[in-house]
Amino acid sequence: MLEVTSVSAGYGALTVLNDISLKVDDGEAVALVGANGAGKTTLVRTICGLLRARSGRIVKNGTDVTSAPPHDLARHGLAVVLENRRLFGELSVRENLVLAETVGRKVRRGNMRFTWDEVTALFPVVKERLDSPVELLSGGQQQMVAIARALLLQPDLLIMDEPSTGLAPKVVKDILLVIKALRERGMGLLLIEQNVGIAAEITDRAYVMAVGSIVHEVGPGEWQSFLKDERLIRAYLG
């Protein structure tokens, strides 16, 4: 379980996140939606330890990870697919994955949630391009490598920041199928997404962010009514 309580964060003199609280239970899929500049990516960076929280607490599976360095994320069962994927473009697909697998093996001490074969089976295109430099892959293929790399860290909660941005509809569909398959295996998911349609398709509930704060919550079973509420959509998502 991930629990973010009253977290504030920012860059220099600028405060971007104000008193954010959210929770993702084991195996639950939660979306974080909001317009550009709402602070979604800043929140992801804060949860991951790439940005230090100025106040508040972040707790993962009962352990306070507020000050944990980002390279310790996997030890706490957390993996993230950052915005723009942040792969190692000069390295091959295999090298990108081997790095994550090595860390995953240490974390799980051999008791792997996702083996190499399982992960590459989820993404046949990744398996075909194992020896290609990542920078030569298409955006969609890179996104699949990024998800595969995150899974090899053996997380129980996967954070995905804008996984559909800039991808062709067919590729987005393929990625959503994989996410659904992961959910069936009990993987928790925190999905950061501007496209509320996609968020509604694969998550149970959502937090809506605007100007650095959580301004609305979409509870279980409330997605459809939220999507129909033009006033809310216009107010928070632009």
Residue ranges in contact with another protein by CB under 8 A = 48-50, 69-75, 79-80, 82, 85-91, 95-96, 98-100, 102-104, 106-107, 133, 149, 153
Compute and round to an integer the Cα radius of gyration of the chain: 17
Q: How far is the CB of 88 from another protein (least distance, A)?
A: 5
Nearest to 191 by CA among 218, 157, 223: 157
Q: How far is the CB of 98 from another protein (least distance, A)?
A: 7
Q: How far is the CB of 85 from another protein (least distance, A)?
A: 8
Residue number, 27 or 70, with CB nearest to another protein: 70
**Strands 29-34 and 205-210, bridge-based pairing:** parallel
Cβ-contact 202, 189 below 8 angstroms: yes
Indicate the DSSP class of residue 99. Answer: H
Q: How far is the CB of 86 from another protein (least distance, A)?
A: 3
Tokens 């939660």 sit at which residue?
30
Residue number, 99 or 125, with CB nearest to another protein: 99
State the Cα–Cα distance between residues 181 and 179, nearest whole angstrom: 5
Q: How far is the CB of 207 from another protein (least distance, A)?
A: 22
Residue number, 32 or 153, with CB nearest to another protein: 153
Residue 59 CA, chain-centre distance (Å), reads: 16
Residue number, 74 or 122, with CB nearest to another protein: 74
Residue number, 56 or 133, with CB nearest to another protein: 133
What angle do the packed helices 93-108 and 139-151 form, to 10 degrees? 20
Structure tokens that stand for 167 in this block: 């991808």
Residue number, 87 or 172, with CB nearest to another protein: 87
Cβ-contact 126, 145 below 8 angstroms: yes
Q: How far is the CB of 12 from another protein (least distance, A)?
A: 10
Q: Which amino acid is at 230?
A: E
